[in-house]
Every structure is written in structure tokens, then in C-alpha cells.
Homo-oligomer: A and B are copies of this chain.
Amino acid sequence: MVSAVRVKLSDVARDAGVSAATVSRAIAQPELLSPETLARVRASAQRLGYLPDGAARALASGRSMTIGAIVPTLDSAIFARALQAMQATLAQSGYLLLVASHEASPAAETQAVRALLGRGVDGLMLVGAERAPDTTALLKASGLPVVLTWCGDGHFTAVTIDNALAGRLAAQHLIKLGHRRIGMIAGHLQFNDRQRARLAGARAALEEAGLSLPDSLVVEQALTLAGGRAGCAMLLDLDAPPTALIGGIDLFAIGCLEEAHARGIVVPEGLSVVGIDGLDMSAHVSPGLTTVHVPTGRIGNLAAQTLMAMVANRPVAKETVLPVELVVRRSSQPLNRT
């Protein structure tokens, strides 16, 4: 490792014949310098290949130009897209994204928050509103800008969607099509307020229509395609199987499509399926998946923007609720249209 001695601020200062303060200003507040000085400093910095030391800057200025994000997992189309959007938005302003995942463990989330807080992030993005009290206490004590996503808690700033409405829209669509026995595959409800809300929304819609979503028609599964298939299998194996299924996430719904196909059940003739998320994939599977579209990318963009605004002490909306929208495709049709 022939690590060349790092060029530091003082080297540039010496080279340019100015003080360290001037070089510092050339980087952070160029408008304070005379054009000539600025040009000279920049030339020196360029020639020496100067790269400011982030740790030192962070220590001296109290800002790290880094935003933290803690998600259940990166290995999910949803969170991956949201993080990509965040990262892209942040990068435009010179911020970097520090990520951690907790795999649906509140304790791991606390750990992650502690780690990111220690790393001096300027702001923190979290998913959902439900978490260990420790975590919340840590967050509040830090006084750090925090943005919750997907679900808010009324306390922290949030960029959300109405998950209950999403569940409701899915259910209402099926009800309107004449379905009466509707089943739902949800993610494990513990430590997942998004899924709980979607389920509650669907249930409320059914009850408002004089129907119901009994626990026997709800299965909890791991948030994977295989989970969706397994859930679908369980519901179809019921004595009186549902005529329509709601997937708490699109992946579940796609799993249902596969399972139905494997069983020789034609969708939508033999079974209607509706998802929630609006994955790209959902438009391409066959039959095309009817789903409640969620603006995942925008959640990421907005979370990033909100966080940066908070860092800059600009006012931000306490909670931004992004719209969800039913997208009807081929996977759902009126009951008994044979």
C-alpha cells in the first residue's frame, strides 16, 4: 500500500501562498474571496489533487453531509427503489447515503440508529412509525432531523401514503366486481404497521359493504414471492376458498398468479387477484396485475428533500401523504362472468 501522503488543506494554502482559512473559504464560501485569490487557490488544489477530509470537516463544522437511511432490507424492489431515489436526490446536493437494514427486528433497528447517530449523520430516514421505545427516545434526544416513510406517527416529520386507503381501494374494487369471499395475504403484522394498515383498510371496506374479512381468510407470510404462493395455496385449500385475493404487496399477488397457474386455475376467470405497490413487474406478468399503485420513488425523493430542508432549517410539512391509485389490469374481473 503505497499510500501517497494525503494532500491537506495546509499544503494547498502554502502552495497558493494564502492562509488555511482562505483555502477553507474557497471550498465552502467562495463568494467571500476575491476572484483572483479564488482562482489561485483552486488552481493549487487542482494541481495537488486536494481532497478535503470529510471527518475533519464534519468535526469542525458539525455537519457530515451524510444522510442515514434504515430500512427493513435493501433486498426488496420497494426499498431499493426508494433508496435509489433518495440517493440520487441527495447526491445532487452533495449528500451521501449511509444505509442500514434491520430485517424486521426492532432491536436491530435500535442498533442501527445508534450506529448512524454515532456516525454523525445530518438526518435520518426510517420506515414506518412503529419501533422500540428506546429507538424513539434516542431519536428525540439526538434532536436530529428525522423523516418517517410509508407510515407516520404524528410526531416525527413523515412522507407517507395512506396504507389503509390502499387496502380499502383494493377491497372496494373487488367488492364492486361482485366478490363476496375475499382473502388477503399480508406480511407478518408484527413490527410492520404498513401491512397492518393495509389489512385494516381492506377489512373496513368489506365491513362497510356488509361483508367481512374473517381471520380465517387472512394469512401472514414472509414478504417474498414464495410467501405469496404459499399464502395463496393456504387460502385456496380452504373448504370455501375465496373468489378473490388481495396481496399486501405486489409480490404476494404475483405469487398468487403463479400458484393459481400451477393449479390450473385461470386468473381472472377462476380467481381475481389484486396487489398493492405497483411494481414495474406487475404490469408485465400475465395476466397484468391489478394493483394499487404507490409512488415509491417519490417517497424517496421527498424524504431526501425534506431531510435536506430540515438540515438547512427550512420549514417542512409535518406529514406529506402521497396519493395511491388503483390501476386495473387483467387479473381481476367480475365474479361469475365465467
Give A residues with C-beta under 8 Å from B.
1-4, 49, 51-56, 58-59, 64-66, 73-77, 79-81, 83-85, 87-88, 91, 94, 96-101, 103, 111-112, 114-120, 141-144, 224-226, 229, 254-255, 258, 261-262, 280-281, 284-286
Contacts and interface: CB of A to CB of B under 8 A. Distances in A.
Given A84-B75, A97-B99, A258 B285 contact: yes
A84 to B, nearest CB: 4
A141 B226 contact: no
A224 B87 CA distance: 20
B53 A118 contact: yes
A81 to B, nearest CB: 5
Contacts of A141: 4, 49
A144 B49 CA distance: 16
A2 B117 contact: no
Contacts of A49: 141
Contacts of A84: 73-75, 101
Contacts of A3: 142-144
Contacts of A56: 55, 59
25 contacts: A4-B143, A54-B118, A55-B56, A66-B98, A73-B84, A74-B74, A74-B80, A74-B84, A75-B81, A75-B85, A76-B80, A80-B80, A88-B103, A91-B100, A96-B100, A99-B99, A224-B280, A254-B281, A254-B284, A255-B284, A258-B286, A261-B286, A262-B286, A281-B281, A285-B285
Contacts of A280: 224-226
A188 to B, nearest CB: 18
A1 B310 CA distance: 10
Contacts of A85: 75
Contacts of A73: 84
A183 to B, nearest CB: 20
Nearest to A296: B75
Contacts of A83: 74, 99
A135 to B, nearest CB: 13
Given A4-B141, A258-B286, A117 B55 contact: no
A288 to B, nearest CB: 10
A63 to B, nearest CB: 9
Contacts of A80: 74-77, 79-80
A137 to B, nearest CB: 9
Contacts of A75: 77, 80-81, 84-85
A27 to B, nearest CB: 11
